Chain A
């Protein structure tokens, strides 16, 4: 295969000095990437998101550096692990006392739970050096939200970095995770992988906020399995990068497991953001809810594919999917696709999708009462996205508001964004 990138990746991998016990699964993951090559638009899952230019860049590993990293308004009262260019940064991290039995290791990588499902996850598994390993024992609740900061430094241009996290919540355990990916203007590629296992009755509220520069490429993947009575809430905010891509695959594996996926995409300028969401109902009486809100402005492009798959025998499935997109200016583009595949009999599955513009009549109504055009549009946009923001934990709301305000003139005066 004629690819500058794949040739250099071989060298990058060989110079990685990986521990010998990791070599096998890393080599297998790299082989997956080499065999498939970078995704192209000919693949259904990549129809709207073009990664072909990855081939032309001789990617090197972004190194640990002391150059500028993005400013982050640090949240009070959270535990924090910080990665800069894929490497754990102890100095900027902050870990308070954790309950007995909780294992938290920001540098531990174990063999992946499953073989890479595609070329990009192959890249992530082959080259991720660090990542969060979190194991919460049965019945334990993490006392504070745990923040993961995935930062790309200014000097990372032309480089790539990878982190891979593994999170296990045992029976009845609970946690709140806040994940942020930020960068300056560096033209870099990052991949982030999560493997999440929720045992029976475990509960996780996971929020991701990706707001990297339009020169950045973020290609991330999250796999979660939820056992009996477990509850996953995933708030996914894709605001930057070109592309900013997240594949989310949730498997409801035990009876009465539930997943609520709230996806908010906002492409502005030239950014291109893409969520591929798949929820598998594999056990009876599970519940899933998907709220998708996609906004596109300027030359921005949003892609949102959401599939609910109900396996044979997953009777009593209760699933709803609501996807809506809003084009804020001419020239913006949204590709939104809801999908249902049902192989069980006794199910209640609803889905719907809309695409539209801000309502002129509503805008005039607000302005006729004295709100400026910007305020009116911000207020209407806010009301549009609100359903996807309801489950963001309190600790993170101000952060989310700040990131959205920069895109919505007039929003600064607003109270609760979510």
Chain B
């Protein structure tokens, strides 16, 4: 599904990613953990095509295609989704209009007809109800006036509607209370399948109590310094990052 080889990236001439190797197979859930400033969000940004990063070395292939050559919207409709750490508020563009345009862009890319308005409204209503978001938000501006937790849940609503092949969730769990965390986890688990993969970028092990990862990686200083199974996350929770990053140093 995704093959990252020796990926180096910098921002404003400062090297952030210093040689990432990571292979994600179909149906797998990978957790990428690490202390602040380790490059976790940069990895999400680089994969989704956020402007501002310079790739200095390495390659990324997504289902055989050179991901780094693709525009952000081309990556999206190829099936890649980034759940934002800080979802953007866009007053004046309604959630409904935005998401319908997005869903149709994905459908058109797959050679499917555009969704009809009624069918779309039924889908978005169902997804919002599942995340316990008030359905009147459908017609409000994108994330406009949403609380931090509501914005994160709205990311999961979008993921539910788009049904990506690969979802990269950048600290979607941060700032959520325990009830919201469960809703978000349910949303992720509901999409889990043999064809879909997830990268959960997270600071804490908490989310992994609800979404069981196949692999856990620790990112520190722009490199993956340790990989393991879900037991690694628990060990990190107990012993702190110093244990692995110290070991790496």
Supposing A369-B158, A369-B162, A371-B73 touch, asked if A379 and B93 sit within 8 A by C-beta, the answer is yes
Which of A373, A379, A387 contacts B73, CB < 8 Å? A373
A25 contacts the other chain (Cβ, under 8 Å)? no
Which of A370, A372, A383 contacts B90, CB < 8 Å? A383
Instruction: Note all chain B residues with C-beta closer than 8 A to A369.
Output: 76, 98-99, 102, 105, 158, 162
In A149-203, the 8 Å CB interface with B consists of none
Question: 1/0 contact trace for A359-378 toward B, CB 8 Å?
Answer: 11110111111111101100
Which of B50, B82, B87, B91 contacts A383, CB < 8 Å? B91
A373 to B70, CA, bound (A): 13
In contact, B88 and A367 (Cβ under 8 angstroms): no
Instruction: Note all chain A residues with C-beta closer than 8 A to B99.
Output: 369
In contact, B101 and A368 (Cβ under 8 angstroms): no
Instruction: Note all chain A residues with C-beta closer than 8 A to B141.
Output: 383
Question: 1/0 contact trace for B31-57 toward A, CB 8 Å?
Answer: 000000000000000001111000000
- Closest residue of chain A to B106 (Cβ to Cβ) is A370
A408 to B39, CA, bound (A): 37
Instruction: Note all chain B residues with C-beta closer than 8 A to A383.
Output: 90-93, 141
B27 contacts the other chain (Cβ, under 8 Å)? no
A396 contacts the other chain (Cβ, under 8 Å)? no
In contact, A386 and B162 (Cβ under 8 angstroms): no
In contact, B92 and A384 (Cβ under 8 angstroms): yes
In contact, A370 and B77 (Cβ under 8 angstroms): yes
Interface residues contributed by chain A, number (CB under 8 Å): 25
A380 contacts the other chain (Cβ, under 8 Å)? yes
B97 contacts the other chain (Cβ, under 8 Å)? yes
Supposing A370-B77, A372-B73, A379-B93 touch, asked if A413 and B48 sit within 8 A by C-beta, the answer is no
Instruction: Note all chain B residues with C-beta closer than 8 A to A371.
Output: 73, 98, 101-102, 105
A372 to B141, CA, bound (A): 19
- Closest residue of chain A to B117 (Cβ to Cβ) is A415
Which of A359, A366, A370, A379 contacts B109, CB < 8 Å? A370
Supposing A367-B73, A373-B71, A375-B101 touch, asked if A362 and B109 sit within 8 A by C-beta, the answer is no
The residue in A360, A365, A369, A379 that gathers the most chain B C-beta atoms within 10 A of its C-beta is A369
A359 to B51, CA, bound (A): 13
Which of A365, A370, A375 contacts B88, CB < 8 Å? A365
Instruction: Note all chain B residues with C-beta closer than 8 A to A382.
Output: 92-93
B72 contacts the other chain (Cβ, under 8 Å)? yes
B84 contacts the other chain (Cβ, under 8 Å)? yes
In contact, A365 and B73 (Cβ under 8 angstroms): no
Q: How large is the interface on B (under 10, 10 to 19, 20 to 34, 35 or more residues)?
A: 20 to 34
Instruction: Note all chain B residues with C-beta closer than 8 A to A362.
Output: 88, 90
Which of A360, A365, A387, A413 contacts B84, CB < 8 Å? A365
Which of A366, A368, A372, A415 contacts B48, CB < 8 Å? A368
Instruction: Note all chain A residues with C-beta closer than 8 A to B109.
Output: 370
In B73-117, the 8 Å CB interface with A consists of 73, 75-77, 81-82, 84, 87-88, 90-93, 97-99, 101-102, 105-106, 109
- Closest residue of chain B to A381 (Cβ to Cβ) is B92
Instruction: Note all chain B residues with C-beta closer than 8 A to A367.
Output: 49, 71-73, 76
Supposing A362-B88, A380-B93, A384-B92 touch, asked if A368 and B77 sit within 8 A by C-beta, the answer is no
Which of A368, A372, A379, A384 contacts B82, CB < 8 Å? A368
In contact, A370 and B71 (Cβ under 8 angstroms): no
A357 to B233, CA, bound (A): 43
A387 to B92, CA, bound (A): 9
In contact, B88 and A361 (Cβ under 8 angstroms): yes
A362 to B87, CA, bound (A): 9
Instruction: Note all chain B residues with C-beta closer than 8 A to A359.
Output: 88, 90
A368 to B168, CA, bound (A): 12
In B101-150, the 8 Å CB interface with A consists of 101-102, 105-106, 109, 141-142
In contact, B105 and A364 (Cβ under 8 angstroms): no
A415 to B139, CA, bound (A): 14
In contact, B101 and A365 (Cβ under 8 angstroms): no
- Closest residue of chain B to A375 (Cβ to Cβ) is B101
A352 CB to closest chain B CB (Å) equals 15
A49 CB to closest chain B CB (Å) equals 30
Which of B77, B90, B91 contacts A365, CB < 8 Å? B90
Which of A366, A384, A386, A387 contacts B98, CB < 8 Å? A366
Instruction: Note all chain A residues with C-beta closer than 8 A to B162.
Output: 369-370
A383 to B89, CA, bound (A): 12
Instruction: Note all chain B residues with C-beta closer than 8 A to A370.
Output: 73, 76-77, 101-102, 105-106, 109, 162
Instruction: Note all chain A residues with C-beta closer than 8 A to B76.
Output: 367-370
A247 to B97, CA, bound (A): 36
A411 CB to closest chain B CB (Å) equals 12
- Closest residue of chain B to A416 (Cβ to Cβ) is B97
A415 to B50, CA, bound (A): 28
* Known contacts A364-B51, A380-B90; 12 further A-B pairs (Cβ under 8 A): A359-B88, A361-B88, A362-B88, A362-B90, A365-B88, A365-B142, A367-B76, A368-B81, A369-B98, A370-B77, A371-B98, A373-B71
**Can you identify 8 A-B contacts, CB atoms within 8 angstroms?**
A360-B51, A364-B50, A368-B76, A370-B76, A372-B73, A376-B73, A382-B93, A387-B92
Q: Give chain A's interface residues, CB within 8 Å of chain B.
A: 359-362, 364-373, 375-376, 379-380, 382-384, 386-387, 413, 415
